[in-house]
């Protein structure tokens, strides 16, 4: 259910409130909801997920990504979550793809090696290779 990209980040498709208790049991310390509230009629409300995360003892951040693309503010917000987390982070959206892409952009912004980022995403079966030029421009390497 949770797809590990690195020791610090895993991604997933849509989670339910009970999945957050499972995430805490598996050692995650922070969760990031990358799905806009109300994107589909069948997803749990953001407030319900935030409450479930708090009940599980998880730090919770909402960085909604709609289909119009990513902004630098969203990239910076994800980088901040990764910088501040004291352990593994779990990010989710509908399928995990937006979360994997946002992580890749944030990791490059944090100084990660673009080729290593692409390889890590690929191990999780996410193809972020189309972002390589952007990853290269974001990375201070």
Positions of E strands within 39-111: 59-62, 89-92
Q: What is the pTM of this model?
A: 0.96
Q: Report the chain's mean pLDDT, rounded to a whole number.
A: 96
Distance, in Å, from the CA atom of 124 to the CA atom of 120, rounded to the nearest integer, reads 7
- Res 141: pLDDT: 67
Question: Domains of the chain (ranges plus CATH)?
Answer: 3-138 (3.90.190.10)
Specify burial of residue 59 (Cβ count, 10 A radius: 0-12, 13-18, 19+).
middle
pLDDT digits (tens, 9 = 90+) for 34-80: 999 989 999 999 999 999 999 999 999 999 999 898 999 999 999 99
Q: Which residues pair with 4 in a beta bridge?
A: 10
- Res 10: pLDDT: 98
């Amino acid at each position: 259910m949770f797809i590990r990209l690195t020791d610090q980040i895993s991604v997933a498709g849509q989670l339910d409130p009970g999945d957050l208790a499972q995430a805490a049991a598996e050692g995650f310390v922070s969760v990031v909801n990358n799905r806009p509230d109300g994107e589909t009629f069948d997803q749990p409300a953001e407030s319900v997920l935030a409450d479930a995360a708090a009940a599980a003892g998880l730090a919770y951040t909402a960085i909604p990504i709609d289909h119009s693309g990513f902004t630098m503010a969203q990239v910076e917000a994800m980088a901040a979550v990764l910088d501040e987390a004291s352990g593994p982070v779990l990010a989710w959206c509908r399928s995990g793809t937006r979360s994997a892409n946002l992580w890749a952009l944030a990791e490059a912004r944090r100084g990660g090696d673009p080729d290593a980022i692409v390889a890590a995403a690929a191990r999780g079966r996410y193809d972020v290779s189309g972002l390589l030029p952007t990853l290269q421009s974001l990375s201070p390497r």
